[in-house]
Amino acid sequence: MRIAMTLLVRDEVDIVETWLRYHLARGIDVVIATDHRLVDGTSDVLREYERQGRIVVLREEGDVVRQSEWMSRMSRLAALEHGADWVVPSDADEFWWPRAGSFAEVLASVPARFGVVRGLLRNFVLRPGDEPPLERLVVRTRPAPDLTSQYHAQLKVAHRAVPDATVGIGNHDVEGSGLAVIREWFPFEVLHFPLRTVAQLEDKFRRRPTTGQHTERAVALLAEDRLDVLLAEALVDDAALATGLAGGTLVEDTRLRDAMRALDADGALPPPRPPTLADDADLALDAEIVLGRDSATIAERRCTELERAVAILEQRPLVARAARRFTGPGGAGR
């Protein structure tokens, strides 16, 4: 089995090499990255890995971020030119963690009738300090159902490589031939580090905002010079940490830090340990929140599709006449 990861990156020099080292060591066969107007040194990292033949880099210089278009293009390239069986779309702040076994073992276990599995996002919170991100950020929070939160509930997709894949904005969904979704099984956790320093937080929302209600709110706060409000909501100080750990809203999670320490020391990643009953219970708490949000999204989509279908039918002459006969001149049913 050949597994590709696709990466759209813009100015993530503090974490992108760690992302590459982790996933390549975890058994990913090829990384296809799109470099979008990088200015902070990220390009240098990508060029070095490209020079070594370890990744493929595409470059985009336009002002507008065409995230879905570029991710879809990379997924199709993985299928058509790089012999991939599976594609894992990702951002540079997302570390895909197989819950049991390797990437290949997890994906080989997917029944043939399904083409998409999903990873549950686990959000790590911003903590004060000057240590490197993965040394300092070892606490995650329960996903917020409110989409304006920086730590809101999300799911990400991995899919079989097909030549007509269309990856949705944010990598939350994908369409294409044979891409039926397994909805309530999460063989991957996506360890997410969206906010890593105060400077990175400001840059994330001032200079290169993406889509989403959480982004829109952050951009609005910064436009009003209310960085203090944004930091108060995102930054977890020692007092908030103690309260959150005691109340179960925060969880210490050192898996990625420990894995990267092992990689630095031995040049190899230890295999993920099998999840315990406590791990499964912890995942179930987050999954309940995420699936609730997911069900609401599906219901909204189906209502929209139904309204669109009804509108089309009402435009047809025979249907329109039948509707008028039924409702009568005053609009009420007879």
For residue 334, the model assigns a pLDDT of 38
pLDDT digits (tens, 9 = 90+) for 292-316: 876 555 445 455 556 666 666 667 6
- How much is the pTM? 0.84
Phi/psi of residue 33, each to 5°? -115, 145
Yes or no: domain 3-274 corresponds to CATH 3.90.550: yes
For residue 322, the model assigns a pLDDT of 55
For residue 57, the model assigns a pLDDT of 95
Show the tokens assigned to 4: 């590709």
Domain boundaries of the chain, sorted by first residue: 3-274
Give the CA-trace dihedral at 201, 205, 209, 210, to 10 degrees. Answer: 60
**250-252 and 139-141 beta bridge pairing:** antiparallel
Rounded CA separation 285/123 (Å): 14
Cβ 74 vs Cβ 58: under 8 Å: yes
User: What's the CA angle centered on 275, arms 240 and 112, to 5 degrees?
Assistant: 120
Rounded CA separation 121/143 (Å): 8
Residues in the chain: 334
Rounded CA separation 20/30 (Å): 10
pLDDT digits (tens, 9 = 90+) for 90-138: 999 999 999 988 999 999 999 999 999 999 999 999 999 989 999 999 9
Show the tokens assigned to 258: 């420990």
Number of H helices, E strands in the chain: 12, 12
The one-letter code for the residue type at 109 is S
DSSP-assigned letters across all residues of 222-247:
HHTT-HHHHHHHHB--HHHHHHHHHH
For residue 211, the model assigns a pLDDT of 62
For residue 147, the model assigns a pLDDT of 74
Cβ atoms within 10 Å, residue 221: 17
User: Which three-class secondary structure state does DSSP give residue 6?
Assistant: strand
What pLDDT tens digit does each residue of the chain (334 aa) get?
999 999 998 888 899 999 999 999 999 999 999 988 767 788 899 999 999 999 999 998 877 889 999 999 999 999 999 999 999 999 999 999 999 889 999 999 999 999 999 999 999 999 999 899 999 999 999 988 777 777 888 999 999 999 999 999 999 999 999 999 999 999 999 999 999 988 888 777 776 555 667 777 878 888 888 888 888 888 999 999 999 999 999 999 999 999 999 999 988 898 888 899 999 999 999 999 888 876 555 445 455 556 666 666 667 665 555 555 655 555 444 3
Cβ 161 vs Cβ 86: under 8 Å: yes
For residue 91, the model assigns a pLDDT of 94
